[in-house]
Amino acid sequence: MALSPTLQIRHMIAIRSSAGISIPYLVVLVIGFVLWFAYGIALQNLAIIIPNTIAFVVGATTIAVARHYRRRHRDPSLEGGVTGEP
């Protein structure tokens, strides 16, 4: 699970879009990795700490790339807000 999002990162970069990626889902997933990391620290268990650290880094990178492409592809007509004028 920890490295599977790298395929999504590669796909987003290839098509230059993150339209099919759910950022809220990824945020919940990354929060889970942080909680498991904290649990691993509490137990001093490297078998929990290491994979969740890797998963956190990959998940955070996926979110960063997705946000980058979301900002980049915003509709310019929505930048100034909706005024009702043609």
Residues 19-71 pLDDT 10s: 888 999 999 999 999 999 999 999 999 999 999 999 999 999 999 999 999 88
More confident residue, 76 or 14: 14
Does the pLDDT value for residue 11 go beyond 70?
A: yes
Interatomic CA distance for residues 77 and 59, integer angstroms: 31
pTM of the model: 0.75
What pLDDT score was predicted for residue 4? 80
CA 70 to chain centroid: 12
What pLDDT score was predicted for residue 84? 47
Interatomic CA distance for residues 13 and 50, integer angstroms: 27
More confident residue, 67 or 2: 67
What pLDDT score was predicted for residue 2? 65
Interatomic CA distance for residues 82 and 53, integer angstroms: 42
Tell me, which fold does domain 5-71 have in CATH? Monooxygenase (1.20.1280)
Among the listed residues 33, 64, 76, 31, the one whose alpha carbon sits nearest the alpha carbon of residue 51: 33
CA 48 to chain centroid: 21
Residue 42 CB partners (closer than 8 Å, separation 6+): none
What pLDDT score was predicted for residue 20? 87
